[in-house]
Structure 1
Amino acid sequence: MINLTKILAAILVLLAIALGGYAWMLSRQAPVQTAQANGPAPATVKAQQVLVYPVVVAAKPLPAGQAIPADALRVERLTINPAGAFQDVAVAAGRVPVLDLAEGTPVMENQLVSGLALRIAEGERAVAVKADEVMGVGNKLQPGDFVDVFITLKSDGKDVDRSQARLLLSRKRVLAFGNASVDGLPPKGTDKAAAQQAQRAEPARTAVLAVPVDEVNRLTIGDASGRLMLALRNPNDMSEPDPKLFADLPTALQPVQAKAGEARRAPLEGLDRAQAGLTAADLVTGGKGPAVRPQVAEVRAASAVPRAAGPARTGLQVEVIRGERSETVNY
């Protein structure tokens, strides 16, 4: 019995030593296995965080109101992709920011000038005139059409023979008519009839035309002095009046004369001519100055009128009218 107990005790001791040795071996292998098991995890997390997007940013400060040169932009790979951002420098180059952009700022669509202003050619201005169904060709005008602008100038009822109608501006592009404009045309594939019906639902009150800056004075004075009429024309019709057949209208402001020895200055053009302006009288008379009645005497017979003071006199009173002056002569 004592021998059996000793044998069991020896077996337990050997088993304890074996387990201790096995535990010691496991303890040495655990760090290596843990390092190997945990090794790919940081790489996976890092791969997920390194997802980047190409974004166009300002390479230097961009002032508002000035076209962006191509060398002022660069593409950076960012971890964010802002809505409306550009991926290509060529797409954003030449656009005009509406606010100052600092260096490194992503350039986005809502930070740049857009809308009708981008549809105006260099040297043109968008000018709105009053419109109605008759003036707007029965509301058949569409953005992008070309029209001739005629003007009707009416004199008073006693001088009807001086009323006139003539071509004021030729082949001007319609940028907008009512609620429709060239920057908001319905996309291809939409129901054109539905779009036209929606436009007719609200009568047009204005028409916006693209006009060279030196002709804006004609349009604004014509709109204020008479009635304008738009005449729709075929866009393939390129005919225009010959400017050599008519003398240029004088300007309201006279340019400074060249000094002795200086070269003769060229005629005013563009913004300089717009700055010089135009008078309504020159527009009406073709540059002949204010409308003047013929220098003829109009004789009107009148009954004798006694004066308040002095002896009563009888005879005829004749009113002589010369231009804007009126004079009464007693006979």
Structure 2
Amino acid sequence: MRGQGLIILGVAILVGLAAVFLANSYLGRVEERQATTPRGMAKVAVARVPLEFGTVITPDKITLIDLPMDTLPAGTFSSVSQLLPMNRNRVALRPMAVNEPILRSKISGEGGRAAISAVLKPDMRAAAVRVGDVAGVGGFVLPGDVVDVLVTRTPPNANGGGQITDILLQKIRVIAIDQEASDSADKPVIGKTATLEVSQVDAQKLALAQQVGQISLVLANPSAVTSPTVETVSVDDLRDGAYVGGYSDRAPTYQPPMAWSAAPPPPRRARSIAAAPSADSSTVLIVRGTKDSSYEVRHYGAH
């Protein structure tokens, strides 16, 4: 019995050694194939799983695939060690799908965090504005959307004309609603603050507009063309029909009253032309009030 046990143990050891040898051979061939890149191809680090905004990128969420070198986008990584040097954390700043290349523009720096400033263009600023359920289009304004910004205010020279509404900014990208900055959100969210990507001067306009009036957001089509002329809507335009456009931000100018002019004198009556007097007489005109009479007087001694 002892001899049979030794024989079984020896067979088990041999089978185990054979399994280890086969496994090592298979893994070696796989690693060799992975290390060998076909001609014209390059290794690219891609997402193994979906990566949402703020996801910490770890080696288990990355895989390498071969892509044609002439179609590689800028900012790719050719290895896990290049993407995560010294195992330092990086964070996804843009949502990435499975097998989507991980680009430098979509992740934070080494050991970085998911910061709004990292997704801004170099010459742009992030400005927050207060919005409500109505001003925020019922929660349908989400990160990544494009909006027009309206301001409703009372002008200093309203002269009793009430409030007006102007288009303050056109085609502005929303980068966050409250604390949500992922542009993969697909459900309406009622937020109190919208963070917009604007220029430095437009950020100043937004700060001033919030002090003098109320801000509203209007969803816009990303392919829409901005209007070069911005109209002002006043209380007089609150009616069904075409835009009246009667509002003017200029104060009314003083118009002096027209001077009273005397009525033109009535036309004078044409006097009747008397017959030419004869040689031995003369005509005498006698005026009585407003009436005149002509008389012919014969000369003294005339027959």
TM value normalised by structure 1? 0.37
Whose RCO is larger (CA < 8 A, sep 6+)?
2
TM value normalised by structure 2? 0.40
The structure that is helix-richer by fraction is 1
Q: Which has the larger radius of gyration?
A: 2
The structure that is strand-richer by fraction is 2
